[in-house]
């Protein structure tokens, strides 16, 4: 797929995977996006039952969309719950499927962290494009096609790391799979020692777990072959600096990269090589940021990321609510003109907690907890509802060397640091070592214990406009 020897020396020395695309003037970039959006809307209306029904219901004439402002204000938003009802055993993909579905090459499902999993169909074009969207993160971190990738996870129906695999193929690198029946963390450590890959692809939590397993095995990873860690599925490898520091220390000074992905959309945002956040991959997707009333936010303001995939022509995702809260910036020290999300995803509209007038975001709490030496990488943020108010508390495992009589002191230390940095006091529960779940793919940090009826009402209040 990629012959490294055929590209020019100038291209090899560039700090960008695709310098032309990543530094394109915004006027030109937006003109390309508008043209592709208009084509996509017409294709959706003529070939996809879900979108034809949606646009007819709202009286939208897709052929009259002439500007990006038209698109943002006249095209209805879509959301995961809108797609789920028509999916069934007899109708796998529901109404959101192109009438000519003969070119489907892959079936996936969403990870299911927020409700019932959603079936996804992808064509060959979409798989290669979402794979290539990883390549700016690979290249920006210093990875080159002569490197070799080790995938430390089982290949299931979750699309996230499948796209990373396609990206490595598009990159032209060697692939080593860590999947297989009975492949334990100990076996993966041994495979890394034997096969000497230079790139580890794993969630940050699992990469740190592998490091702990290696330590128990008496293996010094500082002398192992891994030079790079590529993370996804959860914040950490880039977006939480202190977790990044732990990864670098655990894996012998490795360099880190990360992607922000939404698997059902076939889109990813590669991490900036300056490690300050993520760039929207604006050649393959169009995104804009709005507040909960539907108004577009300004630069530096926090809002919800609304994305349209320009990759997929089987199941379509147009003006789709990601529920990710981000802070956009339209300039970056790396020189890329693609929109930057400073600090990555700050939280989610359905998991953000407002407590005593303060918005509490998951990423901010993670950064604080990871700065405490006695705190392990295994913790949860518990949301409850009491007396018509939301409450959040932290449930955390200490590192093994912390004795039980030190738990109270550790809890007080964490609570005080949260108070200093965020401005609110969160209770902290210290639980025994190895009592919290371990995950190979997405770590579930947010545990929402609010009543089901309240969460349903909350979903209604988060407005969808037309």
C-alpha to C-alpha distance for 229 and 225, rounded to whole angstroms = 11
Task: Express each pLDDT in 331-347 by its tens digit.
Answer: 999 999 999 999 888 87
Residue 350, pLDDT score: 62
Q: Is residue 245 part of a domain?
A: no
Q: Is residue 309 part of a domain?
A: no
Copy the structure tokens of residue 436. 């919290």
Residue 381, pLDDT score: 86
CB 244 within 8 A of CB 238: yes
CB 247 within 8 A of CB 209: no
DSSP 426-455: --EEE--TT-S---SS----EEE-S-HHHH
Residue 34, pLDDT score: 98
CB 401 within 8 A of CB 446: no
Q: Is 53 strand, coil or helix?
A: helix
- Please name which of 287, 278, 201, 205 lies closest in space to residue 239, comparing C-alpha atoms: 278
Residue 447, pLDDT score: 84
Full residue range of the structural domain in which residue 452 is found: 353-461
| Residue whose structure tokens are 């100038």 | 10
**Main-chain dihedrals φ then ψ at residue 174, nearest 5 degrees:** -75, 140
Residue 359, pLDDT score: 65
Structurally, the chain folds into a number of domains equal to: 1
Residue 114, pLDDT score: 46
Q: Is residue 151 part of a domain?
A: no
Residue 253, pLDDT score: 93
Residue 122, pLDDT score: 85
CATH no. for residue 453? 3.30.300.30
Q: Is residue 455 part of a domain?
A: yes
Residue 387, pLDDT score: 66
How far from the centroid of its chain's Cα atoms is residue 185's Cα?
A: 24
pTM for this model (two decimals): 0.77
What is the signed CA dihedral for 213, 214, 215, 220, rounded to 10 degrees? Answer: -170
Question: Could you say which residues of the chain have pLDDT below 70?
Answer: 1-8, 99-100, 111-116, 350-359, 361-363, 387-389, 440-442, 453-466
Residue 421, pLDDT score: 80
Q: Is residue 12 part of a domain?
A: no
Q: Is residue 410 part of a domain?
A: yes
Q: Is residue 28 part of a domain?
A: no
Task: Express each pLDDT in 103-127 by its tens digit.
Answer: 788 888 775 444 567 888 888 888 8
Q: Is residue 42 part of a domain?
A: no
């Amino acid at each position: 797929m990629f012959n490294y020897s055929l590209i020019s020396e100038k291209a090899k020395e560039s700090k960008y995977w695709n310098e032309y695309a990543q530094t394109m003037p915004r006027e030109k970039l937006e003109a390309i996006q508008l043209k592709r959006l208009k084509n996509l809307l017409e294709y959706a209306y003529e070939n996809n039952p879900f979108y034809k029904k949606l646009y007819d219901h709202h009286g939208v004439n897709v052929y009259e969309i002439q500007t990006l402002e038209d698109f943002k204000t006249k095209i209805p938003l879509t959301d995961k719950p809108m797609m789920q009802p028509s999916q069934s055993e007899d109708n796998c993909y529901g109404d959101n499927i192109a009438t000519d579905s003969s070119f489907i090459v892959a079936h996936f499902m969403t990870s299911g962290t927020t409700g019932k999993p959603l079936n996804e169909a992808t064509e060959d074009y979409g798989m290669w494009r979402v794979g290539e969207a990883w390549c700016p993160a690979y290249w920006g971190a210093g990875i080159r096609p002569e490197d070799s990738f080790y995938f430390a996870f089982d290949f299931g129906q979750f699309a996230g790391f499948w796209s990373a695999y396609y990206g490595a193929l598009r990159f032209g690198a060697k692939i080593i799979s860590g999947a297989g029946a009975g492949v334990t963390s100990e076996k993966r450590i041994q495979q890394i020692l034997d096969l000497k890959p230079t790139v580890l692809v794993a969630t940050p939590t699992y990469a740190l777990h592998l490091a702990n397993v290696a330590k128990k095995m008496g293996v010094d990873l500082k002398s192992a072959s891994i030079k790079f860690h590529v993370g996804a599925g959860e914040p950490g490898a880039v977006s939480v600096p202190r977790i990044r520091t732990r990864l670098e220390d655990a894996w012998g000074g490795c360099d880190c990269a990360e992607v922000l992905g939404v698997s059902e959309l076939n889109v990813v945002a590669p991490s900036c090589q300056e490690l300050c956040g993520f760039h929207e991959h604006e050649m393959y997707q169009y995104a804009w940021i709005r507040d909960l009333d539907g108004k577009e936010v300004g630069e530096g303001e926090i809002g919800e990321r609304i994305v349209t995939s320009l990759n997929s022509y089987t199941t379509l995702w147009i003006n789709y609510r990601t529920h990710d809260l981000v802070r956009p910036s339209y300039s970056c020290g790396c020189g890329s003109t693609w929109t930057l999300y400073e600090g990555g995803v700050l939280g989610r509209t359905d998991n953000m907690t407002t407590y005593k007038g303060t918005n509490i975001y998951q990423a901010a709490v993670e950064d604080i907890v990871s700065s405490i030496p006695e705190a392990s990488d295994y913790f949860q943020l518990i949301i409850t509802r009491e007396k018509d108010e939301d409450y959040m508390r932290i449930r955390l495992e200490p590192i093994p060397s912390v004795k039980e009589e030190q738990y109270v002191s550790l809890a007080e230390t964490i609570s005080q640091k949260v108070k200093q940095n965020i401005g609110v006091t969160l209770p902290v529960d210290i639980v025994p070592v190895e009592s919290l779940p371990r995950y190979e793919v997405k770590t579930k940090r947010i545990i929402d214990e609010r009543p089901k009826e309240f969460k349903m009402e909350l979903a209604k209040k988060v407005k969808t406009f037309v």
